[in-house]
Amino acid sequence: MFGLAVAALVHFPDPKSWIPAPDWRSIDQLIHPWRYPVLSVTGVLFLIVLLSGVQGGDLQYWLERLRIKLPLLVIPLMFLMFPRLAGRQVRSLYYLLIILMSFLCLGIGVNYALHAEAINTSIKQGQPMPTPGNHIRFSLILAYTVVCGIYLYQKNFYWKFRWERKLILGLSLFLFLFMHFLSVRSGLLAMYSAILVMSLSYAFNTKKYWIVVGAIALITILPVLAYLLVPSFRAKMEYMSYDRWKHQRNEGGLYADSGRIASLEVGWEIFKLHPLIGVGTGHMQQAVDQTFQTKYPLVPHPLMPHNQLLYAAASWGIIGLAVFLWAFFYPLFYQRNYRRPLILVSYTLFFAMCMLEHNLETTVGIAFYSFFLCLLLQPYYADGHRT
C-alpha cells in the first residue's frame, strides 16, 4: 500500500528524467473522495471500527483491527488516483492470477505426492492440506480464480495467440478439479455458489436454461465422485462425520466443525446481550473469551464468530450491522451494477466469504476483497458513466 501511495501521488513529466513531480490531478481526487461514492463507500467499513473505539475496551485489539481494515481506506483511494485501466488490462491481470494460482496448486500437488500418507492422516485428524498461507483464504482466492477463468473464456480473451483460449480453459478446469482435491469446504461452497449464479445469469441473458440444469447436476454429482475417487476429499468427509458425532456429545469447540458451531453460538449470545450497539470492537475479544469460558470451559482457544455478519452484529449491534450491510452492498446496486455478470458473480463469492468465515477480520481477506472490488468497479466510477 505504501508503494501504491507513492506511485499515485507523483508522476514523471519528462520521460527522459528520473525526477518526479507531484501529480496534482490525483491529489485533487484524493481530497475529494465523495465525488466517487462507489469506491469511497468502502471507507465506511473502516470508519465503523474507528468510531466503535469510543466504547473503550482493549486498546491493542482495537488498534489491530484498524490496522487490518486499513486497505478498505487506502486501496480505493489509490484506485481513484491511478489512470483508469482498460478492459484488456484488467483481463490481463485476471490471466496473470490464473497462471500464478496454477503454479501454486502444482506445487501443492507435488508436495502431496511426496507425503500423501502423512497428509491424509493429518486431514483425518482435522488438519488442512498444506497451502501457502491460510488454507481457507487460499481456497477462496482459488475459487475466485476459477470464476475469472470462466469469464475470460466467455469473453474470448487471449494475450497474443488464439490457442491461449484453450490454455485458459484447461487451467480453469484444472483449478476447478483441484478445489476438490484441496478439500476446503468454504472454498468449495463459495465456488459452487458463484458458478450457480453465473449459470443463472448466463441462462437469463441467452435463454439457454439447460445451462442451469447442467450446473445443478454438476454441483450434485461432483462431490459424490470426489468422495469415491479423491483420497483427500474422502478423508475430509470422514472427519466431518466424526466431528458431528463429537458435537452431538456436547464436546463442541474441541474439533474444527464443532468449534465453528460453538463460535456462532457464542456470537449470538453476545449479540442478544447487546442488541442495539454491540459490545464494541475493543470489548469483542474479552466478550468472546468470557462466553466461551461459560459455555465451553474445556476449549483452550476461543474462536471469534465464524460469520462476518454475526461478528458485526455482536461488535456493533443492529445499528452497526445495518451500516455494514449498506456499505457492503452499495457498489453492487450503484448504477445497477448487478446487471454486469462478473460483478454479480464476484459479489456472490464475496458474500459467501462473509457467511462462511469472518474473512473481513483478516489481513488477506481484507486485501483480497478491497483490491478485486476496486478492480471490478474502476471502469464505472467516473461521473457515474463507464469510460
Query: pLDDT tens-digit profile of 308-320?
Result: 999 999 999 999 9
* Angstrom distance (rounded) from CA 189 to CA 235: 18
Q: Distance from first CA to last CA of the chain, Å, rounded?
A: 25
DSSP state string for 261-307: HHHHHHHHHHHHHSTTT-S-HHHHHHHHHHHHHHH-TT-SS----SS
Mention every residue, 6+ apart, whose C-beta is less than 8 A from residue 363.
68
How confident is residue 294, by pLDDT bands cut at 50, 70 and 90? confident
Classify the C-alpha dihedral 85-89-90-93 as positive or negative. negative
Classify the C-alpha dihedral 142-122-365-307 as positive or negative. positive
* Angstrom distance (rounded) from CA 333 to CA 373: 13
Q: Give yes or no for a contact between 71 and 366, defined as CB atoms under 8 angstroms apart.
A: yes
Q: Give yes or no for a contact between 298 and 257, defined as CB atoms under 8 angstroms apart.
A: no
More confident residue, 128 or 164: 164
Mean pLDDT along residues 172-198: 89
Q: Is the pLDDT of residue 240 over 70?
A: no
Q: Is the pLDDT of residue 255 over 60?
A: no
Mean pLDDT along residues 241-263: 63
Query: Would you kindly state where each structural domain of the chain is located, as residue ranges?
Result: 1-31, 32-384
Q: Is the pLDDT of residue 386 over 80?
A: no
SS3 state of residue 206:
helix
Which of left, alpha, beta for 19 (phi over 0: left; psi -120 to 50: alpha)?
A: beta
Q: Is the pLDDT of residue 94 over 90?
A: yes
More confident residue, 357 or 232: 357
Distance (Å) of CA 161 to CA 145, 146, 153, 165, 166: 21, 21, 13, 8, 10
Q: Partners of 11 in the beta sheet?
A: 21
Q: Is the pLDDT of residue 7 over 80?
A: no
Mean pLDDT along residues 260-285: 90
Helices (H) and strands (E) in the chain, counts: 17, 2
Task: State the pTM of this model.
Answer: 0.85
Phi, psi of 383 (to 5 degrees): 55, 25
Q: Is the pLDDT of residue 259 over 70?
A: yes
- Average pLDDT over the chain, rounded to an integer: 84
Q: Which parts of the chain are beta strand (E)?
A: 10-11, 21-22
Q: Which helix (H) or strand (E) holds 229?
A: helix 210-229
Mean pLDDT along residues 344-354: 92
Classify the C-alpha dihedral 192-193-196-198 as positive or negative. negative
Which of left, alpha, beta for 131 (phi over 0: left; psi -120 to 50: alpha)?
A: beta
More confident residue, 2 or 246: 2
pLDDT per residue over 132-175, tens digit each?
A: 888 888 999 999 999 999 999 988 998 888 899 999 999 999 99
- What pLDDT is stored for residue 382 in this prediction? 46
Classify the C-alpha dihedral 211-212-213-217 as positive or negative. positive
How confident is residue 246, by pLDDT bands cut at 50, 70 and 90? low
